[in-house]
Amino acid sequence: MRAVVQRVLRAQVTVDGDLVGAIGAGLLIYLGVAPADAPEVARHLAERLAQLRVFPDSGGRMNRSLLDAGGEALVVSQFTLFADSRRGHRPAFTAAAGPERGRELCQLFGEELRRLGIARVSAGQFGAHMLVESVNDGPVTIVTTSSEAPWAADCG
């Protein structure tokens, strides 16, 4: 899995003019799924991001997690995170999981954030053309992949 994580003051997703997900202060998470990703990978990445210390403490240092800060999460599926643009001018997306697997693991990722204690978890609409609006805070943007984690070797 790959994620682009942005600390935001607020974010929202609309589809065909309808609001489908919105949060206040927290994390906007663009999430991509690879064909080999397993449920364990989604669970571990959700835990990692829920505990990622990117929120300021009383001294202004990034020392608090989403859980510590009581923040919210907006999860937006993003198969284009697996784009391969090494050849030509049109990216290939063959490294991204198919729609069924992508939907399954994106939903599991959001459920795991809730289980971990994130009170408000919203999501975009899988497979739809979405308009995402956000007010970045900092800005703080982190790019991560499940293969960076020490547990990745154990998660198939």
Neighbouring C-alpha atoms within 13 Å toward the C-beta of 18 = 7
Query: Which of 31, 28, 30, 32 lies closest to 12, judged by CA?
Result: 28
Task: Please state, as a whole number, how many other Cβ atoms lie within 10 Å of the Cβ of residue 76.
Answer: 21
Is residue 144 flagged as an active site residue? no
Q: Which of 55, 79, 82, 109 is catalytic?
A: 79
Q: Which of 6, 12, 55, 78 is catalytic?
A: 78
Is residue 14 flagged as an active site residue? no
Is residue 80 flagged as an active site residue? yes
Stated length of the chain: 156
Q: Which of 51, 80, 93, 141 is catalytic?
A: 80
Which two tokens mark 70?
């009581």
Show which residues are catalytic.
Answer: 78-80
